[in-house]
Amino acid sequence: MKTPLLACLALVPTLALLPGCGTTVTREDVNTVRDLSGNWNDTDSRLTAEHFSPKIVAGGWVDEYKAAHSGKKPVIKVGRVVVRTNGDVINTEIFTNDLVRALVNSGKVKAVGNSNDADQIRAERAEQDKNASEATRKESFQETGADFLLTGSINVADDQEGKEKIKFYSVDLKLVDITTAEQVWFDNHKIKKMVER
């Protein structure tokens, strides 16, 4: 009985010396451009948001709105960005959050939460109606209504021959006046990548 136990204990130091097949993790700056597959990634999201953000608030529609509404800043709600793809997985929330951040930080417009945010806020107010003191409870029907809705699409097209593949992304955004349904701003951004296997 003692012999197998001693043999096993003798192997422990030897096993510890063997090289492991562990995982190596290297942290990178978030602005580092790294394309592994050619698919939509964090860099595409960031660069696309950076392309659109200044253009949205630079349009003449902001000044026209302020002139017609006693200098009041327009309120934007970011709606859905639809992905039309043949298999790419694109997290549009990263992209739309970048857009909202840039719009608010521009100081030229205001932004209200998307539909998911609104649902959580309404649930919180309903909870406060039951449990919060009257002095601190937030009233319903006090939300700021959006003046404009920003929506869009990301269209993906691939072209492949042998080991070479072209990844093409066309991103369209438009801003629509909620009252009149008039489209007041529209822009497109394209990304094209060559992938060689």
What does the pLDDT look like over 26-48, one tens digit per residue?
A: 776 666 776 677 788 888 888 89
Kind plus residue range of the DSSP H or E element containing 97 = helix 92-106
Number of structural domains in the chain: 1
- 132-188 confidence digits (pLDDT tens): 898 998 988 888 899 999 999 999 988 888 888 888 999 999 999 999 999 999 999
Within a domain: 103: yes
**Scanning the structure block, which residue is given the tokens 């691939």?**
158
Within a domain: 21: no
Within a domain: 101: yes
Within a domain: 19: no
- The candidate with the shortest Cα–Cα distance to 83, out of 75, 94, 91, is 91
CATH code of the domain covering residue 128: 3.40.50.10610
Residue 97: domain span: 40-134+144-196
Terminus-to-terminus CA distance in the chain, angstroms?
56
The C-alpha atoms of residue 74 and residue 62 are separated, in whole angstroms, by 7
Within a domain: 157: yes
Within a domain: 97: yes
Within a domain: 167: yes
Within a domain: 6: no
> What's the pTM value of the predicted model, to 2 decimals?
0.77
